[in-house]
Structure 1
Amino acid sequence: MIRLLLVALAVLACGAAAAFYLRAETGYVLISFHHWIVETSLLGLLTAIVAGLFGAYALLRLLVAGVSLPLTVRRMLQRRREEKAQASFETGLLRLLEGNWKRAEIELVRRAADHHAGHLNYLAAARAAQRLGAGDRRDHYLRLAGEIAPEMEFVTLLTQTELQIERGEFAAARDTALKLRGINAHHPYVIALLASSYDGLQAWESLRQLLLDAGTREALGEERYRELMTRTLRECLLEAQRLARLDRLKTVWEAAPKDFRLVPEVRNEYVRGLARLNAHAEALAFVADVLARNWDPLLAELYGELHASDPLTQLAAIEEWLKQYGERPELLITAGRVCLRNRLWGKARSYLDAVVRVAPSAGAYLELARLCEMTQNGEEAQRFYRQGLEFSAGL
């Protein structure tokens, strides 16, 4: 409009200038065509020409506007729908963040077809449906998102895996996460989701193999990695014990990262496994090596439950640790058990009495009762049994 006004002003200015210069001599123009004769001044002719051009231009604009009117109306309506779709999408996201799941789902789905990024509507709607416990609707929205934007398959599968884990659908989450790994094997979040699905399924061997992969530790973060690796190693060691597979037990232990072999939970489970699978000699050597360098009360107590081919050497090792670490209750009761097993009644009684003095426990009273039974002292055995029961009951 402004441009048209400027053109009109320019034309008027030119006309005024022409009138000024032609005021003394207006000129004469004669036009004869068949039986038509037109007589006018030069200024009049110029004015007629300009008016004709303007008229032709206006008529042409009118014709073009008439022809393009349907397209213009369609574009206007489309723009209006897109504006409403964008407003509905923003409102839906806001409701989702507010925790108004039902309203969020309605707003996100209502105008998704008109939104330029409709797959985002459906991905967000899937989250809202999940919160409402509508698994079928959630899966339907995820399918629609995949159909609308097949090039966004990775994002859709990532959202699907998240929601499946959140709802406890670990088998489905594992399958989806494996598809994601096929697309991008090194994506940190994909690794984290796959690890969570294995953890939920208690698929310990699969999780162990994943945790041993290069890059998994960095992808999960140190705290999460240590939590998962510790639990996985323990479960794999326990599984080897249930299957009575000593070779499997050693394979899991030897493949474990070095820093995790120092974790007490893992290390002690390995020793228990060696003991339960009758590898007592290896267990004795392992415990002796650890206790020679660091104190571990659980290993010290476990040492007394192991059967040695040379009991005197076993007892000598315990007595050496008593000198190194002092009269710790775990070492005293271990020494008492070893002496009891080798019928060294006097030494067994002295060690077990020391335990009761230092740190009385139900286990110490039980060993004393067993010692009394073996030495034909039934009345004293009954007294120790009673004391052990009272200690356990907190009396």
Structure 2
Amino acid sequence: MRWVVWLLLLFVVAVLAAGTLGNNSGVVSVYWPPYRLDLSLNLFVLLLLAVGLAAHAITAAVSRLIGLPARAREWRGQQRERAAQAALREALGLQLAGRYSRANKAAQRALEIRSVTPELARDAEFGALAHLLAASSLHRLQDRARRDEQLAEAQALVAAQASGSAVGEAAHLMAAEWAVDDRDAHRALEQLQGLPAGVARRTQALRVRLQAHRLARQPLEALKTARLLAKHQGFAPAAAQGLLRSLAVEALDTARDADQLRRVWLQLDAADRRDAYVTARAALRAAALDAPAEARGWLRPHWEQLTQLGERERQAVLEAFVAVLPGLPADWLPLLEEAVSKLPQDPQLAYAAGRAMAERQLWGRARRLLDAATSLPGAEPGLRRDAWRSLAAIAEAEGNTELAQRCYSSAARIA
């Protein structure tokens, strides 16, 4: 189709030329004393066009000849740029394949080519990427000194660029990850501080921050970070609950006196304070720091919902309640009776209620509940042994030495 169009255009030109030049009787005279040259106007026009075309061809040829060195330099620059890009891709592929020594050499080759290529020398991101690949390979090779040199050069290249560069963010994030691997929490947190606010809330940055806070033994900060990760679905729900619990317990264990424990408790998130397991651990810590009254106040909301707790949470609450029995007030007795009536087959609850009755010197009720704890199905050996010992203590308080001996004997027979 294209040739048909060209043929039609040629016919049109031929027709126009024939119509215009066919009847042209003009003459062009050229005087060059003592000579005179007469040419038809048609021939003169054709010669003029031919001279113009020849002059254009000669000018283009001379221009191409003069520009040949520049074109050669441009071609060599393109070849070097392609070689540098190939070396960078090779470094990335080798690093992903686990061949870290060769990956470092390929990245260094890309940097060498960049140093002699003006176009690449002005590309800061290319150089930063090559330095980061080399640093990552050296980190895998445990060559920390050379790794830090490469990282510093990469950060220096991206520091002059506008904020928001993905390569700059990668440099800070990778530096923080390597600092965590080196067990240097302070340096990791410094690198994370260099990230923009939006980048710092990304999942990977939060993971590194969580590791750094745990490494720095800052459980409260780690707990806040873990809660953000759980909100962003950085963990499975079960894993998130376990991690949040462990961090809250770790924060509570850092308290060295009752006042410090109270401050840590108030700094916990409301969701953590509603967790029965965390509250039970806080109560145990308070009991160890001689603050049972406050611990009972923390446990009371969970005790009122004892039947709604899971087995593990209920056991934790009951164990903590036994630890904070000294000084138990009388207003707890209705709660104990109600709980026992709702869960009559729970040996752990029977033991805790029996110990509470013994604390209030209600020996008859205490003996009935502790006897149930020794005989209910599902009672663990350790629980039954403690129940027999509590019965022996009650018998001693009542002056019944023979009964106390029988109770001690029963406790000793339990494996």
TM-score range, shorter chain: 0.7 to 0.9
Residue identity (%): 20
Aligned equivalents of 1:356, 1:24: Cα separation in 2: 133
Structure 1 residue aligned with 2:88: 89
Cα deviation digits, residues 30-88 of structure 1 (max 9, x gap): 4315x6x3646436655554443334323322332233222111111111222222233
- 1:139-218 equivalent positions in 2, closer than 5 A: 139-150=148-159, 151=161, 152=165, 153-166=168-181, 168-180=183-195, 190-208=205-223, 218=231
In the other structure, the counterpart of 1:262 is 274
Question: Cα 1:228–1:386, aligned 2, differ >3 Å: closer, same or farther?
Answer: closer
* 1:255 shift after superposition: 3.5
Structure 2: segments with no counterpart, 5+ residues: 1-5, 308-313
CA distance in 1, matches of 2:333, 2:405: 29
Which residue of 2 is the match for residue 3 of structure 1?
none
- Structure-2 change in CA distance of 1:252 and 1:97 (3 Å): same
Structure 2: how far apart are the matches of 1:230 and 1:83?
Answer: 54
Taking a change above 3 Å as real, the CA distance of residues 181 and 323 of structure 1, as seen in their structure-2 partners, is: same
Q: TM-score, normalised by structure 1?
A: 0.76
| 2:208 partner letter | L
Matched, 1:135 2:144: yes
Q: How many residues end up aligned between the 2 structures?
A: 372
> Which position in structure 2 is the counterpart of 1:120?
129
CA deviation digits over 1:346-385, x for unaligned, max 9?
Answer: 6555433322221242242244246447343476356335
- Aligned residue for 2:401, secondary structure, equals coil
CA 1:29/1:207 → structure 2, altered by over 3 Å: closer, same or farther? same
Match of 1:380 in 2: 406
| Higher mean C-alpha deviation, range 185-194 or range 351-360 | 185-194
Please state how far the C-alpha of 1:110 moved relative to its aligned partner.
1.8
Distance 1:227 1:306, change over 3 A: closer
- Rounded to whole Å, the distance in 2 between the matches of 1:372 and 1:366 is 10
Q: Aligned to 1:111, what secondary structure does the other structure show? A: helix
What does residue 262 of structure 2 align with?
250
1:369·1:380 contact (CA, 8 Å) conserved in 2? no
- With over 3 angstroms needed to count, the CA separation of the structure-2 counterparts of 1:299 and 1:319, relative to structure 1, is same
Q: 1:308–1:314: 8 Å Cα contact kept in structure 2?
A: no
Give 1:325's aligned amino acid. Answer: L
2:311 is aligned to none
Deviation string, structure 1 residues 106-131 (Cα, Å, up to 9, x no partner): 33332242555412233333333333
- Give the corresponding residue for 1:280: 292
- Which SS does the other structure have where 1:31 is aligned? strand
> Given that residues 280 and 299 in structure 2 are in contact (C-alpha distance below 8 angstroms), is that contact kept between their aligned partners in structure 1?
no
1:235 paired to 2:250: yes
Match of 1:300 in 2: 318
Q: How many angstroms apart in 2 are the aligned matches of 1:205 and 1:255? A: 8
Kindly report the root-mean-square deviation, in angstroms, between the aligned alpha carbons of the 2 structures: 4.0
Unpaired runs of 5+ in structure 1?
A: 1-5, 391-395
- Residues 284 and 308 of structure 1 are in contact (CA less than 8 Å); yes or no, is this contact kept in structure 2? no
**Counterpart Cα distance in 2 of 1:149 and 1:298:** 53
Report if aligned partners of 2:281, 2:320 keep a CA contact under 8 Å in 1: no
- Once the two structures are overlaid, the 10-residue window that deviates more, 114-123 or 38-47, is 38-47
Q: Which amino acid aligns with 2:342?
A: Q
What is the CA–CA distance in structure 1 between the aligned matches of 2:271 and 2:24, rounded to whole Å?
Answer: 110
CA 1:158/1:38 → structure 2, altered by over 3 Å: closer, same or farther? farther
Distance 1:268 1:181, change over 3 A: farther
Cα displacement (A) at 1:197: 1.3
Partner of 2:106: 107
Instruction: Report the CA distance between 1:272 and its aligned residue.
Output: 1.6
Paired with 2:179 and 2:84, the residues of 1 have a C-alpha distance of: 28
TM-score, reference length from structure 2:
0.73
- One-letter amino acid of the structure 1 residue matched with residue 290 of structure 2: N
**Distance in 1, Cα, partners of 2:295 & 2:261:** 12
The structure-2 alpha-carbon separation of the partners of 1:40 and 1:90, relative to structure 1 and needing over 3 Å to count, comes to farther
| Contact preservation (8 Å) 1:178, 1:194 | no
SS at match of 2:102: helix
**What SS is found at the alignment partner of 2:283?**
helix
